[in-house]
Structure 1
Amino acid sequence: MTTPTAASDVPDTGDQTAIARQAILDESRNVIAYELYDRSKKFREHSAASDAEMLFNVLSHAELQSLIGRKLMYLNCTHESLSGKHLELIHPERVVLEMPPVADHGAAEIEARIPALEAVKARGFRLAFGHQTLARQYAAWLPLASFIKIDMQKVPADKLDPLVRFAEKSSSAQIIAEKVETVEQYELAAQVGIKLFQGYWFATPILVRGQTLRPAQANIIQLINLIKKPAEVGEIEELLKRDPTLSFNLLRFINSAGFGLNVEISSFRHAVMLLGLQKLFRWAALLMTTSRMGETAPAVGKMAVVRGRLMELLVAELLPPEHADDAFVVGIFSLLDTMLGLPMAQALESISLSSNITDALLQRKGMYAPFLELTLACESADDEAFARAATQLQLSNHQVNWAHLQALAWAESLDSAD
């Protein structure tokens, strides 16, 4: 598992994510939600683009499922992001969107933001506003609020009670005292009837580091084009087979805390059909906005593709056709630990695969283990290991070598197709 660190300890940029998680507690000190902050980059402006990247990181983060569980996630969100389609990728009942006041508190802009706020609330999202929206010009926003956060560092002690009374009168929202840093601030908030709390006095934000795999932009673009055709599911499945970073991101997304499913995936075709083309397109578009130009799949990715195809061909020699997809997944994900820089058990925590697949990858046991052993032997110069694995499966050298050559040729053809 990841090792949490202080939220102020911002990591280097790159393929490492860093999401800060701070608890929101009720009056009995039970954690009811977590506010999440993206700390992957230093001194970044909050924008619609950073919102999209934050959402991608949340949906791609291996550890968030266990760290958040079924609790609410509070995500800071710009008004521009409300019109973005990437919000369709998350289950509204899991998320509270924290919306900022408008710049300069201009009446015309405040009014202009109402339709978008109403639309996301109608879709099931809950909205949280800061105490600035208790000002007169924001009156039309207050019926939309599920939560109002009062900053204990900014509201004077003698103004807190009337502010809470006004909030209760003007809205049905629950009040959260945030930035509670001392016992005196906590006691004051509790005395005026506030029942939800957030701040350093309860818990400092915990930084959870994770690793992401960013697919090549060319493959993301091709996926988007296939969806827009629309192509047959089989064509999309072939693209997922050729890029292990793309397929891994898809399976991790399906099993993410934000998407809300925890389903055992039997094949990449199953993943596409489970998600549907519309959500697959939204996911690919989000992935595109967070990927970097000129990035190409590493050599290890190509090796994983060869393994997947070889496993598929070897299994086809001995087992019924329905096992081919599982065999491909075993092969292509057999290098996940190398690609992520994590132990295999931890790399697989974020995706749900059949026990036959995980047994082969983690324990080298089960029906696919001998095929994986033979696949690995094909890459090595160990003639004894090759002979032992081939003999165990009763496959001739000719059969294995032919399958290996076919797998290498298939991987090369995928490169030339680009």
Structure 2
Amino acid sequence: MPDIDPQNVFLGRQPILDRNQQLFAYELLFRSAGADQGNFASFIDGNQATATVIVNTFSELSLADALGPYQGFIKVDQGLLFSDLINALPPHTVVLEILPTVAQTAEMIARCEQLRQAGYVLATHVRPESLDVDGKPLLRIAQIIKVDVSRVEPERLRQLAPALKPLRKTLLAEKVESNAQMRLCHELGFDLFEGYYFARPTVIEGKRLQSSETALLRLLGLISQDADTAAIEAVFKQEPVLTINLLRLTNSAGSGLATRITSLRHAITLLGRRQLLRWLQLLLYSGASSSAPAVSPLLQLAATRGRLMELLVDRTPEVRQCGRDLVDQAFMVGILSLMPALLGTGAGAVLAQLPLAVPVHDALGERRGVLGDLLALVEALEDEARERAAAVLQRLPDIDAACANQCLTRALGWANNLAR
């Protein structure tokens, strides 16, 4: 087996939501890498590679911190299940998702019971085509049961859910890809939900903008044009919720200062244009029309993109030529790249609404320039498109797999802090 570089691993995470569509946990996706295939090699001994990558990721890259207050679901195969390395994973942070390929032998069940006693939460899969839940001892041990709803017809799912309910387990619907599937699973009493319906911005495609969201776009345009503070203040005055949030943010940002905020204009000045711009960009994804915005997968994705772009561009030679402006532009590219999905419109319509700097416009519209390359890399990592990511890395000689991975871990941690 080739040597494994524990840093050469790409990370991904799929949101898992509760019945109120609040963030509950993440499914962690690990992609090992090797220099012989553009940092995307596959290993002969997959079991050992998976275990080594996961453990080293937690220890070296502090993914436990990047998860924030949420748990991480980790897929466990035969090799990892019986490996001593699994004991290095923190029980309070991970959920061990036993793959269906692991045979339910007496030895396997004994091992799972041992892990339960050690404090680990176990998840198992049930085949949706089968209604027979008897004779499957792992269903008795595991606390969470996952059902792949993409593989079962609605009527069969209506039969399966009641058969699982007497087990009194947490039911997780995975691969939820449509609003109809979501409504049915909710009706049938599923507790947790996972799938592209939540993880991809299409969940809100075509939605009508609330008044506060329209105001946010107006404010973004004004700040991008370096408008007078009075014009910015006038927009805030029309939006009470935004005004309250602005004052709270300013108070938080200026804690410890003796200065008392005397007006909206004063708050805007104290906060500063750069900080205000970032706050507005993120607020678009957090439910701006609500006084208590929920933690949404879209907010997490937008925040992670912006921060990751910022961290990555700081490693490029271009930043030494353009300075802080390029870092700020990278953050804006990451945030605004999800605006078409948020607004249910094309990228061209979004770009037409905002007077953006040329590097930002080129990156968003045509994936041109260093910012365009970085955005392409971020999107490839999200899509788990290994070949595409490897091709982009060829155009970014100052960034390798280890660098991208470290930046991603930091970005995940930063985005998690928004929810606290």
| Short-chain TM bin | 0.3 to 0.5
Larger Rg: 1
Relative to the length of structure 1, the TM-score reads 0.43
